[in-house]
Structure 1
Amino acid sequence: MKARIRWLAAHGVVRYGAKKAAQAGDPQAMLVADPATRENPREVFERIRASGPLVKTRISTISVSHRVVFDLLRSDDFRVSELGANLPRTLRFIEKHTRSSALHPLKPPSLLSVEPPEHTRYRKLVSSVFTPRAVAKMREMVQETADRLLDDLTAGGVEVDIVDKYCAQLPVSVISNILGVPDSERARVLEFGEMAAPSLDIGLSWKQFNQVEKGLEGFDAWLGDHLAELRKNPGADLMSQLIAATEDGVGLNDEELRSTAGLVLAAGFETTVNLLGSGIRLLLDHPDQLEVLTRDPSHWPNAVDEMLRLESPVQLTGRLARHDVVVEGIEVPKGGLVVLVLAGANRDPDVFDDPYRFDVTRANANKHLSFSGGRHYCLGASLAKAESEVGLKTLFDRFPHLRSAGEGVRRETRVLHGWASLPVDLGQPAATSASR
C-alpha cells in the first residue's frame, strides 16, 4: 500500500496530467507522455524554439535554446533538482514520507542533487581518483576489452543484437575493471542498471515504478556488500582509492560513499551504452559518413562529438530557481522549475548549421551540451568519449560490412536516450582480423 501511495504521488498523478496536457498539445507534456514525440521530437523542439528562448508550459518553463541552456547550467541563480522537488506541495509531502531508503540518483547526497559546499567536497574526492592521467591509462584497457568482446561476437552467428552483445558489455566491463567489480558480479550490475535506468523519469507506469524500485534496492544492497569487501581487501582499483580518499583529512561517510560510488558505477556505463548504440545506428543509416571515417580515421574523435550532439544520451535536465528571477523576460518564481532540453539545444540552428544533419566533420560539433555544464559537468565525459571512439572504430574496422538486420527497439526511458536492442548482420570480417 505504501508503494502504491508513493507511485500515485510521484508518478500516477503526473502521468495522468501529462497525458491530458499532451492531448491538448502542450509541448513539454508531449515530450513526457507522447510516444510519437519521444520517437521523433523534431516538430516539438521547433515549436518550442519558435515560441521563444524560454517558454511557459502547463507544467513549468522549458528551453531548447543553446544560449539559455548554456547559461542556466552555469547560473548561480539556479540549483539542481532533488527527488520530488518539482511536485505540488501535497504530493511532495506524500512522496518524501513514503519513499524507499535505497539510494537514488536524485536524492542527496548524490552528486546530481547537491550543491556547494557538499558538491564541491564530493567532486574533489572523486576527481582526486579519476584524474586525467588515470583516464588516459584506461584507453589501452578499453582497446583490449573491445578486441576480446569482438573476438567472441560471431560465436552465435553473424546476426546479433549489437546492444546486448557489445554496446552494453564494453562499458560495463570497463567500469567494472575500474571499480573493482569481480567478473562474476558484472551481469548483476548490468541488470540492476537496466532496471533502475528509468529512475530519472517522471510519470512512470506502475509496472515501471516497481521495476525501478526493485533495481535501486537491489543495487543498493549489492553495493553495500561490495564496498564492505573492498574495505577489508582493497585493491589497485579506483573504488578502493575512493574509499581511502580524504579532503583535509575527511573522507566520505558510508551514505556519501554508497551514493557517490553508485552514481559513478551506474553513470559509467549508462551514457556509453546509449552512445555506442546510437553511434552504430547513425553510421549504418549514413554510410557516406562511415566512408569519411574509413578514409580518414583522424575524424573519429569529432565524429563521437557529433553523435553526442545529434543523439544526446541524456535528453534533458532541470534546474530550480534559488529565488525569484527573470530569464528572457519570463518570471521564474523561487523554487520554479526550468527544464533544459539538452537534445534541443544541441540542434539549435543559431549555433549549428543544418542542425539535423549528421556530419562527422562538423567544425563545432564539440559545442554540444550533452555532458551538462558548469560545476555539474559530467566527471566521466573523457572516459565515455574514449570508450565510444575506441569501441566504434574497432567494431567497424573489424566488421567493415556490418549492416542493419532489423528496425531495433528504442529504450522506453525519457531522460536517457538510446537503443534497447539493435539487430545487425556482422557480414564478413576484415581479412586482417580473420587471420589473427
Structure 2
Amino acid sequence: MVTRAWIRWLLLHGLTRSYLLWSARRGDPLAQIVFGQDRLLGASPFIEEIRERGRLPKLSGAHVTADYALCRHILRDNRFGVVTPNHVVIPKPIRWVLAKTDRELPNLAEPPSMLVTDPPEHTRYRRLVGQAFSPRAVAALEQRAVEVTDGLLERLESKPQPDLIEDFAAQVPVAIIAEILGFPADMHSTMLKWGFNSAPLVDRALSWTTYRHATDELAEVKQYFDQRIDMLTAEPGDDLLTVLVTSDELTRREQIANAALLLDAGFLTTVNLLGNGIALLTSHPDQLGLLLAQPELWPGAIEEILRYDCPVRMTARMANCDVDIADQHIKRGSLVLLSLAGANYDPGVFPDPERFDVTRANAADHLAFSSGVHGCLGYRLARMEGVIALRTLFERYPDLRLDGPPIPRRLKNLHAYRSMPAKLTADPGSQAERTGR
C-alpha cells in the first residue's frame, strides 16, 4: 500500500516538486510563489515581476497570469478545462500507473470531485446540490447563523485568552454545513480534523510526508462516508447528503467524493475568510471604526476582505484545444496558472490595490470565488456567515486585540491561519442591547 501511494505521489507531486525547487533556486518567480516565498501573493514582488513580463508569460513550463481580465476570461472560456490526473494529454503509461495506484479516496483535487470535473459531469453534480445554496436556502439559514455566533461568543467570555480560529472562526461555518449535510453536533471536531488535515491536497508539488498524511486522513473519510451512505440508503433523511445518496445519477464513488467536497468546501473557505478578516480589521483600526459607526458597510467589507486577502491564491486550467489569446499561442494540453490573488490586485481594476478600504466601490468584482461554471457554489453562504460572524464579534468586542502575531497554516495555495490568540473586552452598551433583543 505504501509503495503504491509513493508511486502515485511521485507522478502527481514528486517530479514536479523537484523541478520547481530547481527553478526556484534559479530565481523563477512562479516557482518561488509555489514554494510560498511570499505571504500576500497579490502584492508580492514575484507577482509584480510576472506582470512586468507580460499578460501571459511562460514560466516553469506553464503560462501564468495575474491580469484580471485575462483570468476572468479564461475561467469562463470553455476552451479551457480543469486539470486532472486523468487528462488526455498525459502519456498513456503514466495514466495506466495512476489508474493502478488509485485507492479511490475522496480527494478534492481528483475526479470525480466536482472541483476538478468539467461538464457534462460537473453540470450533473452541481444540479443535484445547487438548491441547498440558493438565495432562498441561504436566507433560511441566517437566523441559525446568528444563533450559532451568539452561542460561541457567550462561551468565549469564559476564556480569558481564546483562540479566535479554534474557538470561533472554525466553529461558525462547520456548525452550518453540518446541519446542511445532516451531521450531528458531536461530529464537528472530527469534520474540522478531516478538512484541515486534507486541505494540503489542493496544493501542487507536495512533499511525500505531507501527501501521505493527507491521504491517510482521506482513508478515514472514505470509511465514514461508506457507512453513512449505507445508513441513509436504508433510512433517508431530509438533508443534502441524502439527496446525493438517493440519486440514481451517481455511483458510490461519485457520492463519496462530492459529499467529502461539500464537507470541506463548506467550511474551509469561510474559516479563512473569518480569520483573515479578523487579522485585517484588528490591524486597520480606522476601517474597523468605520464599520462600527456604519454597520451598513459590512457586506462591502466582506468583499474587500476577500479581495485583499484572497483565501484561494491560485487555480489552474488546461487548454482543451489550440488557443490564441493575449498575443500567445497556447497549444492543446498546455497548463495555464491563474493568480486569483494577483488579479485582485490588478491596478487597472482596483486603484491603489494595496490599500485596504472597506468602502471600495467595486470590491465585489474580485475573483476570490473564481468565475464561470466552476464559480464557488457556496459563495452566498460564505458571504452571509462572514457578515454575521464578523459584525457580531466586533460589535460585542470592539476593543478586541490579538495576543501576538497569528500563526499561519503551512499551505501554499490557501492563505489561512492555524491559531489566533486574542484578548477580549466586551462593550457593555452593545451587550445590554443584545441581551434585550
**TM-score > 0.5 by shorter chain:** yes
Q: Is the 8 A contact 1:83 1:106 kept in 2?
A: no
Q: Is the 8 A contact 1:10 1:92 kept in 2?
A: no
Shift of 1:112: 1.4
Q: Calculate the TM-score normalised by the size of structure 2.
A: 0.94
Indicate whether 1:145 and 2:148 are aligned: yes
76-85 or 338-347, which deviates more: 76-85
Pairing partner for 2:331 from 330, 333, 338: 333
283-292 or 40-49, which deviates more: 40-49
Pairing partner for 2:138 from 131, 135, 140: 135
Q: Output aligned runs, 1:51-66, within 5 Å.
A: 51-66=53-68
* Amino acid corresponding to residue 204 of structure 1 in structure 2: L
Q: Is the 8 A contact 1:167 1:276 kept in 2?
A: yes
Q: Provide the residue aligned with 1:43 in structure 2.
A: 45
Pairing partner for 1:76 from 74, 78, 98: 78
Distance 1:88 1:244, change over 3 A: closer
Shift of 1:87: 9.6
Q: Provide the residue aligned with 1:172 in structure 2.
A: 174
Distance (Å, rounded) in 2 between the aligned partners of 1:155 and 1:66: 45
Question: For the aligned residues, what is the CA RMSD?
Answer: 1.9
Identity %: 39
Q: Is the 8 A contact 1:399 1:430 kept in 2?
A: no
191-200 or 119-128, which deviates more: 119-128
Shift of 1:235: 2.9
Distance (Å, rounded) in 1 between the aligned partners of 2:369 and 2:110: 20
Q: Provide the residue aligned with 2:251 in structure 1.
A: 253
Q: Output aligned runs, 1:203-352, within 5 Å.
A: 203-244=205-246, 250-352=248-350
Q: Is the 8 A contact 2:313 2:339 kept in 1?
A: yes
Q: Is the 8 A contact 2:195 2:263 kept in 1?
A: no
Shift of 1:88: 6.6
Distance (Å, rounded) in 2 between the aligned partners of 1:167 and 1:351: 30
* Amino acid corresponding to residue 115 of structure 1 in structure 2: D
Local SS of the residue matching 2:266: helix
360-369 or 84-93, which deviates more: 84-93
Distance (Å, rounded) in 1 between the aligned partners of 2:99 and 2:23: 25
Distance (Å, rounded) in 1 between the aligned partners of 2:50 and 2:402: 33
Q: Provide the residue aligned with 2:126 in structure 1.
A: 123
Q: Is the 8 A contact 1:129 1:242 kept in 2?
A: no
Local SS of the residue matching 2:9: helix
Shift of 1:86: 10
Local SS of the residue matching 2:114: coil
Indicate whether 1:412 and 2:410 are aligned: yes
* Amino acid corresponding to residue 31 of structure 2 in structure 1: A
Alignment length (residue pairs): 430
Distance (Å, rounded) in 2 between the aligned partners of 1:227 and 1:118: 21
* Amino acid corresponding to residue 123 of structure 1 in structure 2: R
Local SS of the residue matching 2:316: strand
- Residues 208-265 of structure 1: per-residue CA shift (max 9 Å, x gap): 11111112111121122223223333333333344345xxxx5333222222221111
Distance (Å, rounded) in 2 between the aligned partners of 1:205 and 1:178: 34
Distance (Å, rounded) in 1 between the aligned partners of 2:8 and 2:123: 32
Q: Is there any run of 5+ residues in structure 2 with no aligned partner, and where?
A: none
Q: Output aligned runs, 1:179-190, within 5 Å.
A: 179-190=181-192
Local SS of the residue matching 2:404: coil
Shift of 1:412: 1.2
Local SS of the residue matching 1:203: coil
Distance (Å, rounded) in 2 between the aligned partners of 1:46 and 1:320: 24
Local SS of the residue matching 1:156: coil
* Amino acid corresponding to residue 280 of structure 1 in structure 2: I
Shift of 1:322: 0.5
Shift of 1:320: 0.6
Q: Is the 8 A contact 1:31 1:38 kept in 2?
A: no
Q: Calculate the TM-score normalised by the size of structure 1.
A: 0.94
Local SS of the residue matching 1:366: helix
Q: Is the 8 A contact 2:323 2:331 kept in 1?
A: yes
